[in-house]
Amino acid sequence: MGEAGAEREESWAVATLAGGCFWCMVHPFDQWPGVKQVVSGYTGGTTVNPTYAEVCSETTGHREAVQITFDPREISYARLLELYWQQIDPTDSGGQFVDRGSSYRPAIFCHTEEQRQQAEASKVALEQSRRFSGPIVTDILPAGPFYPAEEYHQDYYRKNPGHYGRYRQGSGRALFLERHWS
């Protein structure tokens, strides 16, 4: 790898965001310039290398999340946070849409103090906007180990576009987002 490639590699940053079902959290991010990859996975719990079945059993402490590798020179963390808030119901502490339970609770997992400060500021700004009638309850937590989900969960919207579209509509996510962000 040449010097330019090595410099570019060193510039990548990581954002980890939980917003309910990870299938619906990939597409909003992976089309943006500066986003290298979006990986579906599990984070926030205690079980090492959990499986989907284990996470769904609500015994691991993990949440479904996406980990976004991005170039902050092309897309800022603040912009990723703006996009994040537009994908979730930040007033729901019991899960997201039809997906209920702790593994579907929204959270921003911060990798640095700067990310924590930006996440806190974005949460306050959203609260002050009064876009939502209830309080913003999305957690802001320190990032820990992230475990990629099984391969069939990766890029689900591309692999199974029909099912993905029906799920996004049927879960109530699409209508909620249209009502609050259109």
pLDDT at 2 over 80: no
- Rounded to an integer, the average pLDDT of 45-58 is 97
- Rounded to an integer, the average pLDDT of 25-51 is 97
- Rounded to an integer, the average pLDDT of 70-88 is 98
Handedness of CA 82, 17, 105, 20 (dihedral sign): positive
User: CA 126, CA 115: separation in Å to the nearest integer?
Assistant: 16
User: CA 49, CA 157: separation in Å to the nearest integer?
Assistant: 23
- Rounded to an integer, the average pLDDT of 136-152 is 98
pLDDT at 148 over 70: yes
Please give the share of the chain, as a percent, with pLDDT higher than 90. 92
pLDDT score of 9? 62
What's the one-letter identity of residue 87? Q
What is each CA distance from 150 to 49, 72, 127, 132, 137, in whole angstroms?
Answer: 10, 28, 35, 34, 29
What are the backbone angles phi and psi of residue 166, rounded to the nearest 5°?
-65, -40
63 close to 50: Cβ distance less than 8 angstroms: no
pLDDT at 87 over 60: yes
Handedness of CA 5, 6, 9, 11 (dihedral sign): negative
pLDDT at 1 over 70: no
Catalytic-labelled residue, pool 21, 24, 56, 110: 21
Residue 8 pLDDT grade (very low, low, confident, very high; cuts 50, 70, 90): low
- Rounded to an integer, the average pLDDT of 52-60 is 96
Strand, coil or helix: what is 143? coil
Tokens of 119: 């996440």
pLDDT score of 11? 87
- Report the top-level CATH class of 11-181: alpha beta
User: CA 48, CA 160: separation in Å to the nearest integer?
Assistant: 28
Tokens of 16: 């980890």
Tokens of 128: 């002050």
> Is 24 among the catalytic positions?
no
pLDDT at 180 over 60: yes
40 close to 24: Cβ distance less than 8 angstroms: no
Tokens of 154: 């990766």
